[in-house]
Amino acid sequence: MNPLAQELNGVLADSICFRALSDFGRRIYFPKGIVAQTAEANAHCTLFNATAGMAVSEGEPMALPSIAHYLHDLTSKESVAYAATGGVAPLRSAWLEQIRKKNPSLGNAPVSMPVVTPGLTAGIAQAADLFVDAGDVVLMPDMFWGNYRLIFEERRGARIATFPFFDAEFRLNLDAFETALNENPGKVVMLLNFPNNPTGYSPTVDEVETISAMLVRYAQAGNKAVIMTDDAYFGLVYEPGIATESIFARLAGAHENILAIKVDGATKEDFVWGFRVGFLTFGAKGVTAEQYGALEKKLAGALRSSISNSTNLGQHILLKALTSPTYEEEKRAYRGILEARYRRVKDILATRTTGTPLVALPFNSGYFMTFRCDTISAESLRKVLLGEKVGTIAIGERYLRLAYSAVDLERIDEFMAVVFEAADKLNMS
């Protein structure tokens, strides 16, 4: 094992951060190579800096005029230059401020500095690299984003084990949640995604408290728990009583055997899907600033070995947006647009409670709602809708996901009518 990895492991040794690491996580380190030496030179060398492989003219990275033309408010250092492996430092600090502001119950609990990843997908994949070994069990509800299979099962060789998201009364199935935990003693990796994709469901405040208590009991029994929170749709909550904070806030300092990993980013929160700017933030009780720093270095090594660094351009645009005086007002306006679409879908569903093969699963947040197809095939319905020039997502043969976030309010009625009519015709055929 490389001495630098051994050094980081030594710093982490008495914490859940080390005990939960995968084999790769224990072996990875951030090398004292080009990137580290360049960072050192940037801090000390004012005469000449011949380190990084960038073309520079009069102290500024060279940018083609045909590209610079579109970057009026950004310098070439903010746009075409490399970003640091872990991300633009001021953005990382600003994002941590955002996390604490949006999750007041986190309080002053020590957490790591957020590390930038190229989108949330990469953030989940990097967390999996660090903490998931072949053969590990990854727990999640049975309603989950299909890409998790590629990340955990195909890339890492783990086994996804699911439990029913809802019970027979369409309530969050907390009993199944706890049973799944107890059936996997020793170490478990769990992924929680709220607002959920595909259902659009977020737990109530009481449900979050119950889930947190279950995980603490699991940890108190001597088990290790790595809890990843996929917070892609954070902030898009449309009903009272629903938890508006990430469950990360409850878990980051809950127990010495719980490592909470917050995976979030600008993708949906800030309506910049193509920017590919995500963040990984770690939280665990008793972990010191030095240990968080060591874990960040391991993550930086994992990033260096895979993607090198994330988009500098996107990071600096996001940083400027976060400091804009109209930023919060703009986000409220856009969230209002999505909520209006949500409420119209709810109103329509309230009129279609009988005589249809489609049963709406509970939803209260996010971008989506999902139908359970009781007497027809979801895939068959998807194909029929394609013929009507309407795109939807079939999840196996049982469920059909609708992204009402993508349909203008004035066309929601038409959209839902086409879906119901196609389902009714298919049911009668």
Q: What local confidence, expressed as pLDDT, does residue 396 receive?
A: 93
Lowest-confidence region among 115-124, 273-282, 349-358: 349-358
pLDDT at 387 over 70: yes
Do residues 315 and 332 both lie within one domain?
Answer: no
Domain range enclosing 107: 3-30+85-322
Residue that finishes a domain, picked among 256, 290, 322: 322
Tokens of 52: 């990084």
Cβ–Cβ under 8 Å, residues 76 and 63? yes
Rounded mean pLDDT of 166-179? Answer: 96
**Residue at token pair 């400091």:** 323
The Cβ-side half-sphere exposure at 145, using a 13 Å CA radius, reads 22
Judge whether 30 and 36 are in contact, CB under 8 Å: yes
CATH at residue 357: 3.90.1150.10
Q: With pLDDT > 90 as the criterion, what percentage of the chain qualifies?
A: 86
Do the Cβ atoms of 392 and 380 come closer than 8 Å? no
Q: pLDDT band for 421, please (50, 70, 90 cuts).
A: very high
Regarding whether 292 and 244 lie in a shared domain, the answer is: yes
Please tell me whether residues 333 and 421 are part of one structural domain. yes
Which segments of 364-411 does DSSP mark as H helices, in order? Answer: 378-387
Q: Are 219 and 76 in contact (CB under 8 A)?
A: no
Mean pLDDT across the stretch 167-189? 95
Give yes or no: residues 374 and 418 share one domain: yes
Q: Please give the average per-residue pLDDT across 74-82, as a whole number.
A: 90
Number of domains in the chain: 2
**Whether 274 and 331 share a structural domain:** no
Whether residue 279 contacts residue 111, with contact meaning beta carbons closer than 8 Å, is answered with no
CB 226 within 8 A of CB 131: yes
Same domain, 128 and 196: yes
307 and 366 belong to one structural domain: no
φ and ψ of 421, to 5 deg: -65, -40
Q: How confident is the model at residue 42 (pLDDT cuts 50, 70, 90)?
A: low
Are 189 and 181 in contact by the 8 Å Cβ rule? The answer is no
- Tell me, yes or no, whether 284 and 370 share the same domain: no
- Which pLDDT tens digit goes with each residue over 202-232? 999 999 999 999 999 999 999 999 999 999 9
**pLDDT band (50, 70, 90) for residue 336:** very high
Q: Within this chain, do residues 269 and 415 fall inside the same structural domain, yes or no?
A: no
Q: Which of 261, 260, 249, 255 is nearest to 286 (CA)?
A: 255
Residue 253 lies in a domain: yes
Where a domain ends, among 322, 346, 370? 322
Within a domain: residue 60? no
Residue 39 is predicted with a pLDDT of 66
Q: Collapsing DSSP states into helix, strand and coil, what is residue 386?
A: helix
User: Is pLDDT above 90 for 293?
Assistant: yes
Give domain status of residue 398, yes or no. Answer: yes
For residue 69, being part of any structural domain is answered with no
Kindly state the DSSP code that residue 236 receives in the 8-state scheme: -
Helix (H) or strand (E) holding 385: helix 378-387
| Model confidence pTM above 0.85 | yes
Q: Is residue 199 part of a domain?
A: yes
Residue 43 lies in a domain: no
Residues 295 and 341 in one domain: no
Same-domain check for residues 264 and 303: yes
Inter-CA distances, 17 with 45, 230, 278, Å: 35, 19, 21
